[in-house]
Structure 1
């Protein structure tokens, strides 16, 4: 179990916060406060803050990496949102396929989500717009659990970028994952539960941008296209097919187009959010 302790030091009257994440850990873990970082056997998190003023309009971005990713590999994605003056919470899953070793609604996953949401509340981030950027099925399952928790707390989620995910696993794909990712036996009932978890995760009401490729052999484009059609029922959806890039390699192979897609979508989500907030305030007058 990981417990997060978030301390806020108000630096001046302009509410420029110096925020430091300190972590109390159980089991085998190592810590570093230089970059507000936590490392456990399977999960690493890093919190990055922009220069200048932080207030209730500062976006909070959850950047969730693919299975086997490192914080260093995710740094270039983090910089995209740091340029947008966001608070970025970066999560990397150390072990590929780790999400399949835990049930979709396992208590440990719910505890992680509730702890993070609680500390956001303690540090006056309850009214900040929240944005997701998640990669592969590992990131998608983290996104699903955290998204459900945030919705229960009526937080302001404005949008999500879904890079190389999700996969709709049929029985053949479950066996592919068995050999390709885990190299360990996957209990079949647990894998079936993940099929329902994926469809559940596509139904969130906020806008979504799906980034995928016909050349992805891990998450087939047909699977992402099926998710897009399902998501259209409950939310606004954008998508881009990079055609030739491999799994979670779209940014590497097409940096300019990737940045354009992400930043344009991010800006539109925030603009829609703040327009809506302005309308609500005017109606209250």
Structure 2
């Protein structure tokens, strides 16, 4: 059955694309060429903080080549994602928006696959995955690129500094001072929350534990050279996930945060497509067994 989705050939293949955006969030839904039906996989592509739809396009093409419908979400507001807690209401709003796109395009019966990048995409994945699971949707697997990480104030500042450098052409020393001010504001924010009984550290850990328990197969892509998401954090999540689901992983060793595709494009595509194929094959074998039992 999996052969229906073809092999990965030319990633530059032209596709029909319809774009949907909102005032504060960047969304895009892309359709492959050819017939669409209830067996066409829907891929949720959840970008890193500060990503754009243009930056996500090369990831999108991987799945369009596999005859998937791809719903992409980016977080374009610089730094906004760093101040959002794992259970922030806006994340639920984004999840409902993405699910609404599925309903509007009559995709509620299609198998679902996730491709998630960095902690921003990861926490959106947690909310979206939980909601879809409660609705008994057919979730077949997830790729987790450069995530997740434990909660750490210094890591937040480091991530914010990296983002500033990418967006604003100013000396690192000046950007560092600005990032430090933001860090202190965040610490004050977290301290005020703790006075009300809310622990940011516990919420981040709960999010990691919750996603590790998701029952579908997972592929973790990470690197020892990632200074934003330490490999030790990813490895700990892998061990948690192994308790409840099939898990694969690959350490790229030298690539930086969410740069694995840029540095190792052929290997990255091969890892993603091989895993995707195995997830779809398992799903359709299971569906076939269920249909046979009903006869």
Which of the numbers 34, 42, 63 marks the counterpart of 1:60? 42
Partner of 2:86: 104
CA contact under 8 A between 2:43 and 2:63: conserved in structure 1?
Answer: yes
**Displacement after TM superposition at 1:39 (Å):** 4.5
CA contact under 8 A between 2:82 and 2:160: conserved in structure 1?
Answer: no
Partner of 1:196: 206
Once residues 97 and 53 of structure 2 are traced to their aligned partners in structure 1, the CA distance between those partners, rounded to angstroms, is 21
Partner of 1:36: 19
Partner of 1:87: 69
1:223 aligns with 2:233: yes
Once residues 268 and 159 of structure 2 are traced to their aligned partners in structure 1, the CA distance between those partners, rounded to angstroms, is 27
Once residues 89 and 263 of structure 2 are traced to their aligned partners in structure 1, the CA distance between those partners, rounded to angstroms, is 38
What TM-score, normalized by structure 2, do the two folds share? 0.79
What TM-score, normalized by structure 1, do the two folds share? 0.82
Once residues 118 and 44 of structure 1 are traced to their aligned partners in structure 2, the CA distance between those partners, rounded to angstroms, is 15
Superposed counterparts of 1:171-182, under 5 Å? 173-178=152-157, 180-181=159-160
Once residues 179 and 266 of structure 1 are traced to their aligned partners in structure 2, the CA distance between those partners, rounded to angstroms, is 32
1:246 aligns with 2:256: yes
Once residues 109 and 18 of structure 2 are traced to their aligned partners in structure 1, the CA distance between those partners, rounded to angstroms, is 25
Once residues 119 and 35 of structure 1 are traced to their aligned partners in structure 2, the CA distance between those partners, rounded to angstroms, is 12
**Displacement after TM superposition at 1:249 (Å):** 0.5
Larger RCO (CA within 8 A; separation ≥ 6): 2
Once residues 271 and 158 of structure 2 are traced to their aligned partners in structure 1, the CA distance between those partners, rounded to angstroms, is 33
Superposed counterparts of 1:250-261, under 5 Å? 250-261=260-271
CA contact under 8 A between 1:97 and 1:138: conserved in structure 2?
Answer: no
1:212 aligns with 2:194: no
Once residues 254 and 118 of structure 1 are traced to their aligned partners in structure 2, the CA distance between those partners, rounded to angstroms, is 35
Which of the numbers 120, 124, 129 marks the counterpart of 2:106? 124
Q: SS at 2:40's partner residue?
A: coil
Q: SS at 1:121's partner residue?
A: helix
* Greater strand proportion: 1
CA RMSD of superposed structures (Å): 1.8
**Displacement after TM superposition at 1:176 (Å):** 2.9
Residues 238, 179 of structure 1: CA spacing in aligned structure 2 closer, same or farther, 3 A cutoff? closer
Q: Any unmatched runs of 5+ in structure 1?
A: 1-33
Once residues 49 and 96 of structure 2 are traced to their aligned partners in structure 1, the CA distance between those partners, rounded to angstroms, is 22
Q: Any unmatched runs of 5+ in structure 2?
A: 1-16, 162-178
